[in-house]
Structure 1
Amino acid sequence: MIKKILSFEEILKGCIKNDNSCKEMMYKSFYGYLMGIILRYTKNISDSEELVNDSFIKIFKNVNNFKAPKRPEELQKTFKGWIAQIASRTAIDKLRSNKVQFYVDDLGEDEHPVTQVSIASDLHVNDILNLLNHLPDTQRLVFNLYEIEGFAHDEISKLLTIPENSSRVYLTRAKNKLRTLYQNTLVNSYKKKWIKS
């Protein structure tokens, strides 16, 4: 029996109608995408798999609430943004339930001033994503929310129930640590090349 190839729009409509074959197609199509998002928040693979599945449960439960864009050609892009938000919030809820402590080492902002740190010119996206696993949980979380997901500090403050200034300090610390990690990675790779030659 030959299966009919469905468009994304048809798959989405099938999910809204609770069609299991469409849900399976949706799951297979976006599993890797959501895993990539979840892995930015957690280092543990089995936790990540569980969080991706939890995200799909929420997606299928709330797919009726998805607001399709007016332009049909933007449907899949808009849907990806919607499910990415569900996945990132699912990961944040998990971190909260694990009682990740959100505090800034008892330092006031005047004791640890926020500085502008631009790492974009020095780092490639893949390098940043690989180095994110070396950040403390809270710094990684704030970096993801601000730099990758596009949340503002006031939104992060409400989401994590931390002061807005703390969000800024965490972001600065994350960027500083990423820069140091990246420089160490470069130095080590040059040393390896030098030893080989």
Structure 2
Amino acid sequence: MTEIDLLRACQQHDVRAQTALYNLYKTRLMGLCRRYARSQPEAEDMFHEGFIRIFQQLHTLEQSEKLLPWMKRVMVNTAINVYHKNHKQQAETDLDDAWMHASDDHLDTLSRLSNYELLELIEQLPDGYRLVFNLYVIDGYNHVQIAEMLQIAEGTSKSQLARAKNLLKQKLKTLGIYSYEEH
């Protein structure tokens, strides 16, 4: 079954096609949820809620080549909704650290770690830092987009990214990684 056939069958509520779609993308989408969640149970809740939304909104998707990016977007939005639901809007972070600009030194450092080690480090970040870090570094959103999605100031997004990177650097030092290659 091609991806377009799978999409069309799912849109017609074919249970076998929905199961096939779920099995095809469950590992990738669960990995995305794990990056955003504080714990495995929270990731599982996020994942299941996201898949419910995917199946509820699948009828709106017309182009099969956009299926995976669309599903990822639904999962990211679900993660953000879970964040908002579980944490009432916190007071915005002071912008004292906003002068620190994001750099690409994280790329070399991250490549030295296993996915599991990286996930553990990211999971330990405070909620706002973890969300901004994932959205910016891993999913490629810019600060304007992040600010809009999280309903925070753009400067807060920049500040939280800088603080997240500093916390990660401190955690990396405990693992014996002290130097970072500049790109």
Q: Which residue of 2 aligns with 1:165?
A: 155
Q: Distance in 2 between matches of 1:67 and 1:144?
A: 28
Please tell me whether the aligned partners of residues 135 and 174 of structure 1 are also in contact (alpha carbons under 8 angstroms). yes
Structure of larger gyration radius:
1
- Segments ≥4 residues shifted beyond 4 Å: none
1:145 equivalenced with 2:122 (yes/no): no
Measured after TM superposition, the shift of residue 47 of structure 1 is: 2.4
Measured after TM superposition, the shift of residue 114 of structure 1 is: 2.5
Q: Which residue of 2 aligns with 1:194?
A: none
Q: Which residue of 2 aligns with 1:84?
A: 72
Q: Which residue of 1 aligns with 2:63?
A: 68
| Cα distance, 1:143–1:100 mapped onto 2, change above 3 Å | farther
Offset from partner CA, 1:70-102 (integer Å, 9 cap, x none): xxxxx2xx3211101101111110111112544
1:176 equivalenced with 2:163 (yes/no): no
Offset from partner CA, 1:129-182 (integer Å, 9 cap, x none): 331012111100001111112211111111111111000000011111111211
Q: Normalising to structure 2: TM-score of the pair? A: 0.85
Q: Normalising to structure 1: TM-score of the pair? A: 0.79
Question: What amino acid sits opposite 1:121 in the alignment?
Answer: D
| Cα distance, 1:67–1:173 mapped onto 2, change above 3 Å | farther
Name the Cα RMSD after superposition: 2.1
Query: Gaps spanning 5+ residues in structure 1: where?
Result: 1-5, 70-74, 188-197
Residue in structure 2 matching 1:114, options 81, 99, 102 = 99
Q: Which residue of 1 aligns with 2:83?
A: 95
**Alignment length, in residue pairs?**
173
Q: Flag the structure with more relative contact order, 1 or 2, with Cα contacts below 8 A and sequence separation at least 6.
A: 2
Question: What amino acid sits opposite 2:49 in the alignment?
Answer: D
Report sequence identity in percent.
28
Q: Which residue of 1 aligns with 2:180?
A: none
